[in-house]
Structure 1
Amino acid sequence: MFSSKRAHALAHGQQASLGSDTPMEPPRTPGRRPRLLAKKPARPGDTFGVPGQGSSAVTSLITVALFIGLWFVATNLHWIKPLFLPSPQAVYAKFIYVATEGFANSTLAQHTGISLLRVFGAFALACVTAIPIGVMMGVSRFARGIFDPPIEFYRPLPPLAYLPLIIIWFGIGEFSKVFLIYLAIFAPLAIAARSGVRSVSIEQIHAAYSMGASRTQVVLYVILKSALPEIFTGMRIGIGVGWTTLVAAEMVASTSGLGFMVLNAAEFLASDVVIMGIIVIGFFALCFDLLMRHLERVLVPWKGRV
């Protein structure tokens, strides 16, 4: 029978030798204490640590607070003239004014609403068309030969390069603005879908065929699901490009929109309105990115685990 001293040593995760009353400590994991009775199950890579593992929310909040604090100090101590960088108080006051009284014959809600309609309308059209085309480019060399040259040709071009051509073809109406944003989102989304399809493991495809799956079932249940992480990444990149293109789209014959508000304010050197518009655009872009991250965690729980 074990002595009480040895039983006590085993209860605390120590190794007891049958021939000695002196307990031996097990090898410790670098940077961690041994935990036999952990409250939560151990995760893959929890022993030695995975590069980049863990939440960065606290660091992000501290970084944002430091930037805002530096902005507050630099403007209130007059290190920078208000013409170049207005104070946070001035930007907040202008936010309240534009939200209630309006700017350029429209309130902030009206400017925001029309811009959201343009960006997310173009984004929805891009998702409906670019994702299927990207998947076809990945599974069919014939489709890849048709769509790859035009996409790769116009993808590096800045939207301002083909904006005059779009105006000549479709005029200065609402369609030309949405179409310009659509083209900017389409290319990265289609390429991401194609890249996701090409990254599917061939063993998974062979396993599905060996169990009697048809080509359509392999595409829908194996290839498409395996490509979802790349598709979500393409959606996040695409919506960012869409917000960038919004300013270019609202340069021509626009009377409302966040991009129009920023450009119009810049002509009159209204820096507070410019910064306010930039903050509003960044806020909605960040909210959408957080939403896409949440959907990715829900719909693609296996990402990074297989």
Structure 2
Amino acid sequence: MTARPDPARPDPVPRPRRKGLFSRLTKARATRPGETYGVPGQGDSLLLSLASIAGILFVWWLVTSMGWIKPLFLPGPGAVARKFLDIWQNGFTNTPFLEHVAVSTARVFGAFLLACLIGIPLGLAMGMSPVIRGIFDPPIEFYRPIPPLAYLPLMIIWFGIGETSKVTLIFLSVLAPVALGARAGVKSAAIEQIHAAYSFGASRWQVMRQVILPAALPEILTAMRIGIGFGWTTLVAAEMVAATEGLGYMVLSASQFLQTSTVIMGIIVIAAIAYAFDLLMRAVERKVVPWKGRM
């Protein structure tokens, strides 16, 4: 026989379960925009970044000041800073420092804009059309893993030693990641949204502009950030031949005369410009695609 519940006796109150350590650490409480599920916010990330930079500078200063590494191989931060001030005031090879910066920036961003104007529409078309994907996917995938130094001689043979060969070399290094990123972004659009747009009478161009392009924007912006990084990486190779101005030319010329402080200074300037543009692209992402990473 089964025992019948006594109506006069109240039901036992279930005892609350103790939360484990993981559930307490990952309590979902967002106090600031971008801070969810225990993930550090932007302020914490900035402090960690500053601490990381300070740590690297301290280790750099320590190993050079203690004499563990000879100045020929790694000059100290003070020597690099003094070299920067000297080149800022007196220039390098009778050319002002800002002119070197302007020439390299024009080459990289000129090639980057050209790659975006061609690569983004091409990638979107490849994502939407099997015919276009079948035509352009093999050549892009073929040359994409080839280092720019490998086809630099061809650029010189075909376009000479002027600006055209330099910009074309940087353009080719940026084109592949931008086009492939745009192609991958097309897959982010849900097929239900596309069918719904067509059912409401939208044209193919309207579906592209109002459904596919907004869905692909996060991938496109990420591909642009990756592409500009490839552009700065290729800059030194592009300025190896018959260049008299530019940051890459300055680094290569200084390395031939074992001016290590100038080499490191040029590398830091290139990295600073590239990082500043990356921060700008992150700000554009937060403004244009605020839903990225929150879905």
Whether these two folds match at TM > 0.5 is yes
Could you tell me how far apart the structure 1 residues matched to 2:230 and 2:239 are? 14
1:257 counterpart residue number: 246
Could you tell me how far apart the structure 2 residues matched to 1:25 and 1:219 are? 52
* 1:86-142 Cα distance to aligned partner (Å, 9 max, x none): 011110110011011111221211110100000000001011110000000001111
Structure 2 residue 146 is the aligned partner of structure 1 residue 157? yes
1:151-190 equivalence runs, <5 A: 151-190=140-179
1:237 counterpart residue number: 226
Could you tell me which of 190, 198, 203 is aligned with 1:209? 198
2:83 counterpart residue number: 94
Structure 2 unaligned segments of length 5 or more: list them.
1-9
The residue identity in structure 1 corresponding to 2:41 is G
Could you tell me how far apart the structure 1 residues matched to 2:232 and 2:251 are? 13
Could you tell me how far apart the structure 2 residues matched to 1:89 and 1:107 are? 22
Q: What is the Cα deviation at residue 27 of structure 1?
A: 7.1
Q: What is the Cα deviation at residue 44 of structure 1?
A: 9.5
Aligned pair in 2 of structure 1 residues 114, 77: CA closer, same or farther (>3 Å)? Answer: same
Which secondary structure does the structure 2 equivalent of 1:105 belong to? coil
Could you tell me how far apart the structure 2 residues matched to 1:45 and 1:80 are? 42
Q: CA RMSD in A?
A: 2.3
Would you say the 8 A contact 2:100–2:245 is kept in 1?
yes
Could you tell me how far apart the structure 1 residues matched to 2:270 and 2:63 are? 24
1:13 counterpart residue number: none
Structure 2 residue 264 is the aligned partner of structure 1 residue 270? no
User: What is the percent sequence identity of the aligned residues?
Assistant: 58
Aligned pair in 2 of structure 1 residues 33, 224: CA closer, same or farther (>3 Å)? Answer: closer
2:287 counterpart residue number: 298
- TM (normalized to structure 1)? 0.85
Structure 1 unaligned segments of length 5 or more: list them.
1-18
Could you tell me how far apart the structure 2 residues matched to 1:196 and 1:58 are? 33
Aligned pair in 2 of structure 1 residues 62, 44: CA closer, same or farther (>3 Å)? Answer: closer
Could you tell me how far apart the structure 2 residues matched to 1:302 and 1:239 are? 23
1:12 counterpart residue number: none
Aligned pair in 2 of structure 1 residues 231, 53: CA closer, same or farther (>3 Å)? Answer: farther
1:4 counterpart residue number: none
Aligned pair in 2 of structure 1 residues 86, 134: CA closer, same or farther (>3 Å)? Answer: same
Structure 2 residue 11 is the aligned partner of structure 1 residue 57? no
- TM (normalized to structure 2)? 0.88
Could you tell me how far apart the structure 1 residues matched to 2:159 and 2:57 are? 43
Aligned pair in 2 of structure 1 residues 44, 177: CA closer, same or farther (>3 Å)? Answer: closer
Could you tell me how far apart the structure 1 residues matched to 2:142 and 2:177 are? 12
1:131 counterpart residue number: 120
Aligned pair in 2 of structure 1 residues 207, 176: CA closer, same or farther (>3 Å)? Answer: same
Could you tell me how far apart the structure 2 residues matched to 1:53 and 1:208 are? 39
